[in-house]
């Protein structure tokens, strides 16, 4: 079975500056892939490429083995690839339910009300409550304004929202920085639950303990290339830091597809995740 998301020899240059030089990696359904690297290593360029925000200069992105080209973040999302940014993804003065359904509001059923764009706020609140409870997010009331949430709750809301609308791949950009210790743990727990639903997660972070805690594998970027792909048993703080800083070199495959690091620990069946995703779609359609 092809990987859920695979990147082959991806490159991106801005004028003469080479931000990505032939990056290859892959992530399976039900797996958390850590993506680490120093500032300027190409992490954000890679993430922007995967999320459809920028177009790559060369190389391929394969979703379930099929080559894809995302013209915009919306296109990527429609294909099943979503991203949660570190900040700026919630409307602060709107409540939890409104944020959960931001841009995907449920309309009332009656055809006339639907024409008017009348919102079914009750259904949205109920659905939000259900989704948040399913992922055990620490948000007590869906009528709370987003700005009254703690940092951890905000991040949990953003992740739960993306997970609810994502069928295949979730990109998390620094989800635990700027959070307290306990809130970090909550977010990591949430990431595990999302993974267990059969979604492929790419976890971008500077926080090595978090990477070690939640990731099944890790890809280290350095100067726009993959410096190392580390399996579970090779993932240690020392190894990660070593490859990030360049003190260590010659990890698994530089430029060549990182197939040698096979997915660890028998990944959960991707089909389960897919059916969940499809049922969401149906629900959205029929409402």
Classify burial at 181, counting beta carbons within 10 Å of its beta carbon; exposed 0-12, middle 13-18, buried 19 or more: exposed
Question: By CB under 8 A, what part of segment 144-163 binds other proteins?
Answer: 144-145, 148-150, 153
Task: Give the CA dihedral 104, 109, 113, 117, nearest 10 degrees.
Answer: 10
Total residues at the site for other proteins (CB under 8 A)?
Answer: 38
CB of 179 to other proteins, least distance (A): 13
CB of 125 to other proteins, least distance (A): 9
Question: By CB under 8 A, what part of segment 193-212 binds other proteins?
Answer: none
Site membership for other proteins, residue 102 (CB under 8 A): yes
Phi, psi of 251 (to 5 degrees): -70, -170
Task: Give the CA dihedral 246, 248, 249, 250, nearest 10 degrees.
Answer: -150
Gap between the Cα atoms of 196 and 179, Å rounded: 23
Q: Which of 107, 123, 212, 264 binds other proteins (CB under 8 A)?
A: 107
Gap between the Cα atoms of 53 and 43, Å rounded: 13
Gap between the Cα atoms of 69 and 7, Å rounded: 12
Tell me, residue by residue from 112 to 141, as one string, x for binding to other proteins by CB under 8 A and - for no binding.
----xxxx-x--------------xxxxxx
Q: Which lies closer to other proteins via its Cβ, residue 108 or residue 214?
A: 108
Which 8-state DSSP code applies to residue 145? Answer: B
Q: Which lies closer to other proteins via its Cβ, residue 60 or residue 121?
A: 121
Site membership for other proteins, residue 55 (CB under 8 A): no
Which residues of the chain form contacts with other proteins (CB under 8 A)? 73-74, 77, 85, 88-95, 98-99, 102-105, 107, 116-119, 121, 136-141, 143-145, 148-150, 153, 186
């Amino acid at each position: 079975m092809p990987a859920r998301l695979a990147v082959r020899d991806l490159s991106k240059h801005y004028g003469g500056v080479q931000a990505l030089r032939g990056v290859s990696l892959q992530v399976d359904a039900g797996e958390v892939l850590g993506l680490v690297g120093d500032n300027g290593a190409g992490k954000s360029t890679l993430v922007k490429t995967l999320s459809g925000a920028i177009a790559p200069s060369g190389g391929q992105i394969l979703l379930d083995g099929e080559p894809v080209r995302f013209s915009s973040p919306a296109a990527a999302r429609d294909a099943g690839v979503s991203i949660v940014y570190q900040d700026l993804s919630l409307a602060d003065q709107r409540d939890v339910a409104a944020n959960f359904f931001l841009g995907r509001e449920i309309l009332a059923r009656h055809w006339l009300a639907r024409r008017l764009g009348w919102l079914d706020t009750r259904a949205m609140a109920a659905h939000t409550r259900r989704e948040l409870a399913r992922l055990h997010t620490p948000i007590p009331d869906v009528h709370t304004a987003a700005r009254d949430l703690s940092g951890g709750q905000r991040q949990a809301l953003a992740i739960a929202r993306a997970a609810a609308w994502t069928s295949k791949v979730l990109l998390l950009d620094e989800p635990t920085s700027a959070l307290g210790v306990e809130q970090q743990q909550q977010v990591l727990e949430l990431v595990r639950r999302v993974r267990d639903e059969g979604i492929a997660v790419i976890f971008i972070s500077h926080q090595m303990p978090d990477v070690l805690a939640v990731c099944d594998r890790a890809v280290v970027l350095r100067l726009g290339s993959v410096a190392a792909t580390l399996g579970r048993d090779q993932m240690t703080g020392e190894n990660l830091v070593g490859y990030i800083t360049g003190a260590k070199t010659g990890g698994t495959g530089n430029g060549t597809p990182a197939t040698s690091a096979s997915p660890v620990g028998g990944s959960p069946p991707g089909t389960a995740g897919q059916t969940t995703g499809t049922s969401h779609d149906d629900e959205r359609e029929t409402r």
